[in-house]
Amino acid sequence: MSEAEFKSLLESPSKTEIKDLASELGIRIPDEETLTVYTRAIQVTTEGAKSILDWPESEVTDVTFRDRGHAPSNQENSHNQWVWKCEITGNEGKGILAGKRVAIKDSVAVAGLPDGRRKRRSQGLYPSNGCPFGRSDPKRSSCHGVVNNPHDPTRSSGGSSSGSSVAVALGDVDMAIGSDTGGSIRMPGAFCGCVGLKSTLDLVPTLGLNACMQSCDHVGPICKDVYNCALLLETIAGPEDRLYPVRARDLEREKYTEHLSKNVEGLRVAIVKEGFQYSDPDVNSAVLAMIDKLRDTRGVIFEDISVPAHAEGVKVLSVTRNLEYTIGIQQNGQPYTGRTYLMPDMIKSFKDALNNQNEYGKISTIWSAFYNKRFPTLNLLPRAINRMAVIRSAYQKVFEKYHAVVMPTVPIKPPKNPVEPLDIYARTESYIPVTFNTSPFNASGHPSITVNCGYVQAERDRPFLPVGIQFSGRFYEEGVILRLAKAVEDLCPPQPN
């Protein structure tokens, strides 16, 4: 249906329809006179809506010069890491990323190229494989199928930025962009041995992101080394092209790469007890061994502390993510806040793509819809969102004394990939513990980085797997945690044969 045809059909509801809608919403209309006033006012609003249909849906970038790319061949896609491949060049090769190969997670749109959810051309490109709804689990890392771990193809690469991480780890690209709502940059980064950074909330614009959870969505770099991570952050951070101002403060571009030449001696880092409580002993040992190296050879000052609110992060994120996401479904994919750029073409495909979710996403969607329908007055969503402030305050107090906190990125080794048909219960029950250490910093908004600190075996006679160590720090002090990550990178032992 054309916009002109739709506009001709757009009409105000009748008095009967208004009464019925008001009843469904619990709004009392006391008498006929009030109903008449409501009807006239709604007619005025409808006329305003008709005028909006005269406006263009969006400002579309001229992309006619771009290579449209191709679906990857099996040879190009050894670990199922790619959805689409193309080449985009610009700025006459003079930008700070000149010559770099970059992957984009399939939940971030690139104008003029295929939309990975519907597998046909639209306004969004989803080149690296992942979960376009940003809701994945460690055993099935993508709605396009399992993305195999680059160190052991029988094991998980994490999620949901799995394709981005695997493409980096295999050397297909130099760097990648991922999104992180509860750990989706850092979890696959840790499993694949990459550097993954979730920056301070709103430091990196979320424009073009297929948002899962407006209050906690982050976009950030995934790279093979800390230098490229800092370089990519320099490129994507800052206030340019924002529709709305940054919440925390006005930002200026920062040269994050310049922080890497500074030493870490004298930095005060807290070892959070709760961050180790669910961890595999081998994972803990690798992280603690790196902490000892940083203390003994780099002069970092470590102290043990307890942050009880840390344990609440995964619960808060689970509830908030599910309920916010379901609100988006009820609005046909339109986020319920204005913190992002709305892409009409992506919105149109939203409900069609719901079945592309993994089972965790489907189960969460059904639970949230049931809760919203049956228990609308329990205020679970505001309770959960408000609890984020408690977690934020707890860590703000920690950061008054310490420059950063440290813990394992993921408390487990990469699990075995599932064998079809999938055990749905096993997949869903594994999701919560794996984000135990990443979720709190999505809730608090503090910057957080994972970097490889060593290797462990999950099985005898199988390849050694990387272990991620996670540093989180003060708002807008990404430079500090990048320095710590660089120190770890320099001290990390080689992967055993």
Q: Is the pLDDT of residue 158 over 80?
A: yes
SS3 at position 148:
strand
Q: Is the pLDDT of residue 73 over 50?
A: yes
Place of tokens 């199988």: 462
Residue-level pLDDT at 211: 61
Average pLDDT over residues 475-494: 97
Q: Is the pLDDT of residue 169 over 90?
A: yes
Residue-level pLDDT at 138: 47
Answer with the residue of higher pLDDT: 283 or 320.
283
The CA distance from 83 to 70, in Å, is 9
Q: Lowest mean pLDDT: which of 137-151, 180-194, 329-343, 472-486?
A: 329-343
Burial (CB count <10 Å: 0-12, 13-18, 19+), residue 199: buried
Residue-level pLDDT at 246: 47
The CA distance from 182 to 321, in Å, is 9
Q: Kindly indicate the confidence band of residue 44, based on its pLDDT and cuts at 50, 70 and 90.
A: confident
Burial (CB count <10 Å: 0-12, 13-18, 19+), residue 354: middle
- In the chain, what percentage of residues exceed pLDDT 70? 70
Answer with the residue of higher pLDDT: 420 or 92.
92
pTM: 0.84
Average pLDDT over residues 223-228: 97
Q: Which residues contact 443 (CB under 8 A, 6 or more apart)?
A: 216, 313, 316, 317, 320, 387, 388, 391, 392
Supply the DSSP symbol for 82. B
Residue-level pLDDT at 324: 76
Q: Is the pLDDT of residue 493 over 60?
A: yes
Q: Is the pLDDT of residue 472 over 80?
A: yes
Q: Which of 194, 99, 191, 94 is nearest to 146 (CA)?
A: 191
Residue-level pLDDT at 45: 78
The CA distance from 286 to 224, in Å, is 20
Residue-level pLDDT at 351: 57
Q: Is the pLDDT of residue 64 over 80?
A: no
Write out the two tokens for 397.
Answer: 């107090």
Q: Which of 376, 388, 274 is nearest to 320 (CA)?
A: 388
Q: Is the pLDDT of residue 425 over 50?
A: no
pLDDT tens figures, 182-209? 999 999 999 999 999 999 988 988 777 7
Q: Kindly indicate the confidence band of residue 122, based on its pLDDT and cuts at 50, 70 and 90.
A: very low
At what angle are helices 478-491 and 281-298 packed, to 10 degrees?
Answer: 100
Q: Is the pLDDT of residue 279 over 50?
A: yes
Average pLDDT over residues 276-304: 97
Average pLDDT over residues 432-458: 93
What is the helix (H) or strand (E) element at residue 443, kind and residue range? helix 439-444
SS3 sequence of 257-297: HHHHHCCCCCCEEEEEHHHHCCCCHHHHHHHHHHHHHHHHH
Residue-level pLDDT at 108: 77
For residues 329 and 321, the answer to whether their CB atoms sit within 8 Å is: no
Q: Where are the beta strands (DSSP E) in 7-118?
A: 102-104, 114-115
SS3 at position 301:
strand
The CA distance from 135 to 361, in Å, is 6
Distance between first and last Cα of the chain = 61
For residues 202 and 476, the answer to whether their CB atoms sit within 8 Å is: no
Supply the DSSP symbol for 120. E
Place of tokens 């750029």: 341
Q: Which of 113, 17, 18, 128 is nearest to 68 (CA)?
A: 113
Cβ-based neighbour number of residue 87 at 10 Å: 9
- In the chain, what percentage of residues exceed pLDDT 90? 43
Residue-level pLDDT at 202: 84
Give me the chain's average pLDDT, please.
80
The CA distance from 467 to 455, in Å, is 6
The CA distance from 183 to 438, in Å, is 5
Residue-level pLDDT at 84: 82
For residues 163 and 173, the answer to whether their CB atoms sit within 8 Å is: no
Q: Which residues contact 476 (CB under 8 A, 6 or more apart)?
A: 200, 203, 248, 249, 251, 447
Q: Kindly indicate the confidence band of residue 383, based on its pLDDT and cuts at 50, 70 and 90.
A: confident
Q: Is the pLDDT of residue 136 over 60?
A: no
Most confident stretch, 108-117, 315-324, 482-491: 482-491
Q: Where are the beta strands (DSSP E) in 108-148?
A: 114-115, 120-121
For residues 173 and 102, the answer to whether their CB atoms sit within 8 Å is: yes
